[in-house]
Amino acid sequence: MSKIRTMSETLANKIAAGEVVERISSVVKECIENSIDAGAQNIKVELLDAGKKQIKIIDDGCGMDREDACNAFKRHATSKLYKDDDLFFINTLGFRGEALPSIASVSEVMLETFDGDVGTSVHIKGGETLEVGVAPSRKGTTISISNLFYNTPARLKYLRSEPSELSNVTQFLERLALSYPKISFVLANNGAVTLRTSGSGVLLKTIHEVYGSTVSSNMLEIKGSNDDYDISGYISKPIVQRSNRNFMNTIINGRVIRNIELNKIINDAYYTYKPDSTYPIVVIKIETDPTLIDVNVHPTKQDIKFSKMGELRDLLTKVIKEALYETMLIPNAIMETTSSDNEDKDFDDEFIESQLPSALFVREEDELPKNVLLSDESEPKNRIDVQTEIEFAPQKNVQIKSLELHPVGIAMGTYIIAENKEGVYLIDQHAAVERINYEQVLKGLLTNKAKTLLVPLQIELSSSDMTCIKSHFDMLEGMGFDLEEFGINTVRVNAHPIWIKESFESDTIRAIFDLLIEKKEGFDILKFNDKMAATIACKKSLKGNTRITLELAKTILENLVLCDNPYNCPHGRPTIVKFTTYELEKMFKRVM
Question: Which value, to the nearest 10 degrees, does the dihedral of the CA atoms of residues 375, 378, 384, 385 take?
Answer: -100
Give domain status of residue 105, yes or no. yes
Residues 71 and 129 in one domain: yes
- Residue-wise pLDDT tens digits, 2-54: 667 666 666 665 555 545 677 899 899 989 998 998 999 999 999 999 999 99
Q: What is the mean pLDDT of residues 111-128?
A: 92
Long-range contacts of 204-213 (CB under 8 A, 24+ apart): 204/234, 205/181, 206/177, 206/178, 206/181, 207/178, 207/234, 207/283, 209/177, 210/174, 210/177, 210/178, 211/247, 211/281
Closest to 532 (Cα-Cα) out of 411, 413, 426, 448: 448
Backbone angles phi, psi at 418, to 5 degrees: -130, 160
Neighbours of 578 (CB within 10 A): 20
Same domain, 424 and 556: yes
Helices 309-325 and 260-269 pack at an angle, to 10 degrees, of 30
Confirm whether 3 is domain-assigned: no
Neighbours of 243 (CB within 10 A): 11
Number of continuous H segments (helices) and E segments (strands) in the chain? 19, 24
Burial class (CB in 10 A: 0-12, 13-18, 19+), 83: exposed
C-alpha–C-alpha distance, residues 173 and 469, integer Å: 50
C-beta neighbour count of 136 within 10 angstroms: 9
Is 50 exceeded by the pLDDT of residue 493? yes
Whether residue 333 lies inside any domain: the answer is no
Residue 388's pLDDT is what?
36
Instruction: Print the domain residue range for 106.
Output: 9-195
Tell whether 59 and 184 lie within a shared domain: yes
Domain check: are 33 and 106 in the same one?
A: yes
Residue at 339 is within a domain? no
| Verdict on whether the full-model pTM lies above 0.75 | no
Q: Which of 328-342, 499-513, 572-586 has the lowest average pLDDT?
A: 328-342
Contacts of 503 (CB under 8 A, 6+ apart): none
Over the chain, what is the mean pLDDT? 81
Asked if residue 340 belongs to a domain, the reply is no
The average pLDDT across 89-114 equals: 79
Q: Is 120 part of a structural domain of the chain?
A: yes
Residues 314 and 223 in one domain: yes
Residue 445 belongs to what H/E stretch?
Answer: helix 429-446
Tell me if 224 sits within 8 A of 319, measured CB to CB: yes
19 in the same domain as 115: yes
Question: Do both 81 and 226 map to the same domain?
Answer: no
Residue 335 clears pLDDT 50, i.e. is over it: yes
In a domain, 460, yes or no: yes
CATH classification of the domain holding 318: 3.30.230.10
Q: Residue 295 corresponds to which amino acid?
A: V
Q: Are 83 and 151 found together in one domain?
A: yes
- Cα–Cα distance measured from residue 154 to residue 170, given in angstroms and rounded to the nearest whole number: 25
Q: For residue 144, tell me if it sits in a domain.
A: yes
Out of 133-137, 146-150, 542-546, 554-558, which region has the weakest mean confidence (pLDDT)?
542-546
Q: In total, how many domains does the chain have?
A: 4
Residues 90, 22 share a domain: yes
Mean pLDDT, to the nearest integer, of 440-450?
77
Which helix or strand (DSSP H or E) is residue 428 part of?
strand 423-428
Verify that 436 and 467 share a domain, yes or no: no
Q: Are residues 318 and 426 part of one domain?
A: no
CB of 542 closer than 8 Å to CB of 548: yes
Residues 39 and 166 in one domain: yes
When pLDDT is averaged across residues 501-527 and rounded to a whole number, the result is 74
